[in-house]
Chains A and B, each alone.
Chain A
Amino acid sequence: MIDFWLDTKSGLSPYLQLAQQVRHALRLGVLREGDQLPTVKDVVATLAINPNTVLKAYRELEHQGLVSARPGVGTFVTRSLVDGSFAAQATLRKDLQRWLAKARLAGLDEESIEALFASTFRDEQGVVA
Chain B
Amino acid sequence: MTWLAWRQLRFQALAAYVAVVAAAVVLAVTGKRIVALAEPAGAIFDRLTASDRTLFWSGLIVMAVLPALLGAFWGAPLVARELEHGTHRLVWVQSVTRMRWFGVKVGLTVLGAALAVSALTWAVTRWANPLDGATSATHGGFPSRLTPVSFAMRGIVPVSYAVFALALGITLGIVLRRSVPAMALTLLLYVAVQVAVPLWVRPHLAAPVDQSVTISRATLDGISSSGPGGPLTVSAHRADRGDWILSNRTVDASGRVAALPSWLSTCLPGPGAEAPPVSGQTRVPAPVNSLDSCFARLASEGYRQEIVYQPADRFWTLQWRESGLYLGLAAVVGGVGLWWLRERVS
- In their complex, do chains A and B touch, with some C-beta pair under 8 Å? no
A residues neighboring B (CB under 8 Å): none
